[in-house]
Structure 1
């Protein structure tokens, strides 16, 4: 959740969680998932991030600083001090790699 907030803030330049945007949706999903008993009824991170570009006011290339901030947030909020495969950090790193490979 914290990694999504940081990623959105870095992308938009807005230092708050706004209703209807990615971080707000992720928070709602996390709350709903905590109350959902059946695993197959839970919403996944990929479900939340599926159409992320339409939820942001602009599209911004990932910078090394953006990726570093997201990694730090994800590590800070994980009791095992690791980032999950396929998580927000992995997405940011892949986006940064793609950006670097096209320049």
Structure 2
């Protein structure tokens, strides 16, 4: 799936970068309605556990985002988990959610 527009490709790049930088299971990035991007990795603390997409959505919301245009997650999982997808869908019903592998190859667009 190399037909990504440059803005969606940027999300995949940001998600790959945060995943690699933090040595996390997943990395994610979202773009809000104003074009601002937010990225995050998996949070796995004894008292707080968030998927990378949940963390990226939380970062966007805590910065004032009222909606999302698109989201991307880099993961080795075979699908975007339901909780991650639900977090994105709280802010957009139609924006694409891209799932890519560690190399950045997009495997699925939901």
For the aligned pair, the TM-score class normalised by the smaller chain equals 0.3 to 0.5
Q: Which has the higher contact order (CA 8 A, sep 6+)?
A: 1
Q: Larger strand proportion, structure 1 or 2? A: 2
TM-score by length of structure 2 reads 0.38
TM-score by length of structure 1 reads 0.39
